[in-house]
Structure 1
Amino acid sequence: TFDALMRERSVSRAAARLFLSQPAVSASLNRLREAFDDPLFTRTSHGVVPTARAQALAPQVEAVLGGIAGLLDGGEPFNPGASGRIFRITGSDHASSLVLPALTRRLVELGSAIRIVWEPPRTWPLAERLYKGELDLAVVARIRRPQDLEARVLYQDHYVYAMRKDHPRAAEPVTLDSFCAVPQVFLGYGTSMLDDMIDEALALGGRQRLAQVAVTSFGQIVHQLRHSDHAAVLGNRVAQAHARDLAILALPLELPRYESLVCWHARAGADPGIQWLRDAVLETFGLPPAGEAGAAGEAGV
């Protein structure tokens, strides 16, 4: 409870993190307050704030929890059927649609009590959250592989231009002029290398596209495309998953291909549970475990 409150700074979010009710977390906090004779966390309008005593305890608690985890592992192979561990993965809604069904079917078949928390990508530094153990894995799309993380390629793909099938411009060749004229919807606009590349390429020719709607999921993008005259730049695999509703067209400018990656921090690479989770994700894509020879990531190309 202490560690969850330190990370989340909210009783409700800490409860969600621990798969507990808010009253259970509050009761646990009250016991901690009695044990340490300190409030530990004080309430504010935005959640809870740790006291000076809690701040001093935090590194020690983190070290103790890490030591306990190591003792429980004990060098033994991870047994997902006997584990009740909580794993945290970040990735887009498209990535979750590829990973979660097969992964959760496997957990059910094993009779496992493992719980999965899937978080959408955000603007925080990914490597930092993986290093701190706030996340266990990331399933992300990148034009360039991260240098501060371990990664394996799940697949490579290219970008396309998409709009609803009955869009007024769906039957026309896509030109730079039409690309800039049609309003576009973006995934996390302003925080992606893809958007920067597109805008820089257009700027070299004195052009600028109409960036109109920024959203946080591919599901939102597709819904917007289906119900408006907007267009979007999407990964081909994402667009093909919705090919019944979308016209999928070639882009009027050259963009590099991207890779879908499963990433983890080197510090967690020796964790048998994270190893199992990583390899389970790789298996979902028909790829060998990361530790096997020849599994250095190119199998997913």
Structure 2
Amino acid sequence: MTKPLKQNLSRIDLNLLTALEALLEERSVTRAASRLFIGQPAMSHHLNRLRELFDDPLLVRQGSQMKLTRRAKELAPKVKKILDQVRNDLLLVQEFDPASFDGHLNIGLTDYAESLYAEVIVQALLQSSPNCTVSFILVDRDSAFTLFRNGRLDLAIGSLGDGPNELAVDKLYTEKHVCLFDNERLQLGIPLSYDDFLSVDHALINNTGNVKGVVDDLLAQRGDRRKVRVTCGRFTSLLRLLPEQPLISVVPQVLAALGRPDQGLTMSPCPVPVPDFDIYVAWRKEDNDAPVLQWLRELVAGTVKQRRLSILP
């Protein structure tokens, strides 16, 4: 009597089902073994296991030929259907087509990255994938890592190095700091001297209201301090504030180059050795092989690099 299959599932693997398919279609141990590139003894072993599993001889010799039993004939289309589904649904690598993609993408951008790249990323995404939806989420390092853990980000751009182990990063470029100011109002020498740097008021990017930053820590090591008169939470606000104001701000070089031509601002090397920082694209390692995210990473990274080169050739 045939045992219920559910009692024998632990004894079935794909190799055994593949062997069964070959045996039922070839009706020959020798030809089935050749088809699967294994030895005849190994195929005979598979056949013995299958006979025990299904409690049926499956193949019986009649004269010089092997014939399928009734049970084998019942199994043949079912086994083929199962294996075809595995081949087509599980093992077949589907090519990703951006033009037909209509999903939702969540991209985390630091304030710096949003100011510089949000517009061109949208243009590139919608040109390549006009039916997709994209959400930009303003992040800093800590919030980006938290959102990744919660599955709420597909990609992030910013100063995101040295993150948790579950994240992968790709360095896009290294950013420097410069001083940006309206020199028609301040009338300072170029390049800006250390004394002039300390003599005027400063504007600082900080979204917590804190009037001290990395520059102030470096100055304190020299026993000096600057006068911070204004703090802004966003780079875009700072760029609107600096024209015609007697203020200096230490900002990333690419951002300074972007704001300088249209607003009459002057850019000068910073007389305080502020450390450079790296800009990364980050994603979850578990998404390394996801076709949609491979496409997204390549498109975004290429767009960011091209945009930066257009600002700072």
**Normalised TM-score (structure 1):** 0.61
Contact persistence 1:155–1:260 (CA under 8 A)? yes
Q: How many residues align?
A: 213
Counterpart pick for 1:235 among 225, 246, 252: 252
Query: Which residues of 2 match residues 181-220 of structure 1 at below 5 A?
Result: 181-188=199-206, 196-220=213-237
Contact persistence 1:140–1:261 (CA under 8 A)? yes
CA, structure 1 residues 153+83, in 2 after alignment: closer, same or farther (shift >3 Å)?
same
* Superposed displacement of residue 76, structure 1: 2.3
Q: Deviations over 1:161-214 (max 9, x none)?
A: 11013132433653434323322222226699xx64322211112222222322
Percentage identity across paired residues of the two chains: 21
Q: Deviations over 1:31-72 (max 9, x none)?
A: xxxxxxxxxxxxxxxxxxxxxxxxxxxxxxxxxxxxxxxx99
* Superposed displacement of residue 263, structure 1: 1.3
Relative contact order (alpha carbons < 8 A, sep ≥ 6): 1 or 2 greater? 1
CA, structure 1 residues 279+111, in 2 after alignment: closer, same or farther (shift >3 Å)?
closer
The answer for the alignment partner of 1:115 in structure 2 is 133
Contact persistence 1:99–1:281 (CA under 8 A)? no
Query: Which residues of 2 match residues 7-156 of structure 1 at below 5 A?
Result: 75-92=93-110, 95-96=113-114, 98-110=116-128, 112-122=130-140, 124-141=142-159, 145-148=161-164, 149-156=167-174
**Cα distance in 2, alignment partners of residues 188 and 166 from structure 1:** 26
Counterpart pick for 1:163 among 172, 181, 190: 181
Contact persistence 1:73–1:272 (CA under 8 A)? no
Superposition RMSD in Å: 3.1
* Superposed displacement of residue 225, structure 1: 0.5
**Cα distance in 2, alignment partners of residues 210 and 189 from structure 1:** 18
CA, structure 1 residues 74+177, in 2 after alignment: closer, same or farther (shift >3 Å)?
farther
**Normalised TM-score (structure 2):** 0.59
Q: Which has the higher helix share?
A: 2
Q: Is 1:275 equivalent to 2:291 in the alignment?
A: no
Q: Is 1:260 equivalent to 2:274 in the alignment?
A: no
CA, structure 1 residues 111+280, in 2 after alignment: closer, same or farther (shift >3 Å)?
closer
**Cα distance in 2, alignment partners of residues 170 and 180 from structure 1:** 12
**Cα distance in 2, alignment partners of residues 92 and 242 from structure 1:** 18
**Cα distance in 1, alignment partners of residues 109 and 246 from structure 2:** 28
**Cα distance in 1, alignment partners of residues 96 and 181 from structure 2:** 46
**Cα distance in 2, alignment partners of residues 273 and 151 from structure 1:** 17
Contact persistence 1:164–1:170 (CA under 8 A)? no
